[in-house]
Every structure is written in structure tokens, then in C-alpha cells.
Amino acid sequence: IRLYSGLNGSENKYTKVEEIPDNGEIAVPNDATNESRALYLLQSAGLIKLDVSGTALATIANITENPKNLK
């Protein structure tokens, strides 16, 4: 997993999801299909929760829980 921590824009590598720090920044693609895939991946890793009832594609607006306050 690669994550920009937001601290001086440095890139850090983590081997476990649990190592990702609070308030980190995660980049997601800016096209609808790949953004949705990235969000579903973050949800499957337990980093966020989504409410996508009535739609197949997830967007940032569908995030209902973000316990690590990721950006």
C-alpha cells in the first residue's frame, strides 16, 4: 500500500492496513469507474464505509464512515 501521509508530502509504504496513520491522504482516480473501484477497495480494507443504495458507482459523497479521518 502506498499512502501520502500529508506530512511534507512524503510518500510512505505500509505493509499492513493497520499501519496507515490517522489523517492520512489517499489518492483515488478522478474518473467515475476507477474512483468507485478505489472506494470499494478502501471499504473492503476496513478504512471507510459506503452507502451506495440505489447506485452501482460509489463517489466520495457515499462515504458514511471514515474512522481514520482519511482525506
What CATH number corresponds to the domain at position 19?
3.40.190.10
Report yes or no on 61 lying in a domain: yes
Percent of all residues in the chain with a pLDDT value above 70, rounded to a whole number: 83
Rounded CA separation 30/35 (Å): 6
What is the model's pTM?
A: 0.78
The mean pLDDT of 36-60, rounded to a whole number, is: 92
Q: What is the mean pLDDT of residues 30-35?
A: 92
Helix and strand totals (H; E) in the chain: 1, 4
Q: Are strands 49-50 and 11-13 parallel, antiparallel or unpaired?
A: unpaired
37 part of a folded domain = yes
Q: Count structural domains, the chain.
A: 1
Please state the rounded mean pLDDT for residues 8-33. 82
> Has residue 70 been placed in a domain?
no
Task: Please give the residue range of the domain that contains residue 26.
Answer: 2-65
Q: Please check whether residue 66 is in contact with residue 26, taking contact to mean a CB–CB distance below 8 angstroms.
A: no
Our CA angle for 60, 14, 5, nearest 5°, is 55
